[in-house]
Structure 1
Amino acid sequence: MTAYALAHLHDVQSLHPDVFDYLERIQETLDPYGGRFIVHGGAVEVREGSWPGTIVIIEFPSADQARNWYESPAYQEILPLRTDHIPGAAILVEGVGPDHDSAEMGAMLRAAASR
C-alpha cells in the first residue's frame, strides 16, 4: 500500500546555504526507494485552524520503502542540512487502498466506541 512522508516546515523565509545543498541532493536519496514529490512547498490555503509554514509530501510504494529511505545512510547524511536550519515536524503515514470506505470505517469506529 502506498505511504507518504510529510513534513510541516516552519520559518522557511530565509534559506541557509545548507538548505540549497539538501534540495540539490534529496532526489538521489529518494530514487532507490521509489520516492517522488507530490507536494513541495506550494502555496497553502488554510481553511480551518492555523498552518504556519509550508508542507512537503513525498509518495512511496510502501511504508517499508518510506521507512528504509528515511533511515538510509544517504538520507541521514543530508538530513541535518535541513533540520539545522528549518524547524518543523516530519511523519511517515500509510495511505488507504482503492476500496477504502469512510462510511464503513465510521460505522466500525462507532461500534467500537459503544462497547
Structure 2
Amino acid sequence: MNKGYWVIAWQSVSDPSAVDRYIAPATEAILAHGGRVVAGGEPARTYESGLPSRIVVVEFDSLQSAVSAYESPDYQASLSHLSGAAERDVRIIEGMG
C-alpha cells in the first residue's frame, strides 16, 4: 500500500499569533492519526510560479489515513485558529510505490 501525503503551501499569514495557536492542536491531531511531519520550512529555491512561502509535508501510512486525518474532528477543530488569519493550499496525494 502506498503512503499518503499532505502537501501544505502557506500562501499568506496575516496573524502569526493565530498560527502559533494552531500548531499545538494540529500537531497533536496529526500524530494521533499516525502522521509524521517529514519536511517543513521556507523553500531553498522557487521556480516557475512558486511562492517563497513555508511548505510542510506530512506523511501517513496510506492515502486513506491521510484523508481521514485531515477530515477528522480534532484536526478540523485546529483549523478554526487559521480562519481569517492565514491562507493555505492543501493537497493530499498518494505516494508512488
Whether TM-score is above 0.5 comes out as yes
Listed as ranges, the gaps of 5+ residues in structure 1 are 98-115
Amino acid at match of 2:7: L
Structure 1 window deviating more from structure 2 (63-72 vs 79-88): it is 79-88
The C-alpha deviation readout for 1:37-75, integer Å capped at 9, x for no partner, is: 1112233312x3032222111000001111111011100
Equivalence for 2:54: 54
TM-superposed CA distance for 1:80, in Å, is 2.5
Equivalence for 2:3: 2
Q: TM-score, normalized by length of structure 1?
A: 0.73
Equivalence for 1:108: none
Equivalence for 1:72: 72
Listed as ranges, the gaps of 5+ residues in structure 2 are none
Structure 1 window deviating more from structure 2 (50-59 vs 71-80): it is 50-59
Larger RCO (alpha carbons 8 Å, 6+ apart): 2
Give the aligned CA root-mean-square deviation in angstroms: 1.6
Q: Percent identity?
A: 28
Amino acid at match of 1:37: V
Alignment of 1:1-115 (within 5 A): 1-12=2-13, 15-46=15-46, 48-52=47-51, 53-97=53-97
Q: State the alpha-carbon separation in 2 of the partners of residues 58 and 9 from structure 1.
A: 14
Count of equivalent residues:
95
Give 1 or 2: higher helix fraction. Answer: 1
Give 1 or 2: higher strand fraction. Answer: 2
Q: State the alpha-carbon separation in 2 of the partners of residues 59 and 88 from structure 1.
A: 18
Q: Check whether the contact 1:44–1:54 (CA below 8 A) recurs between aligned residues.
A: no
The C-alpha deviation readout for 1:15-57, integer Å capped at 9, x for no partner, is: 43221011122221012221011112233312x3032222111
Structure with bigger gyration radius: 1
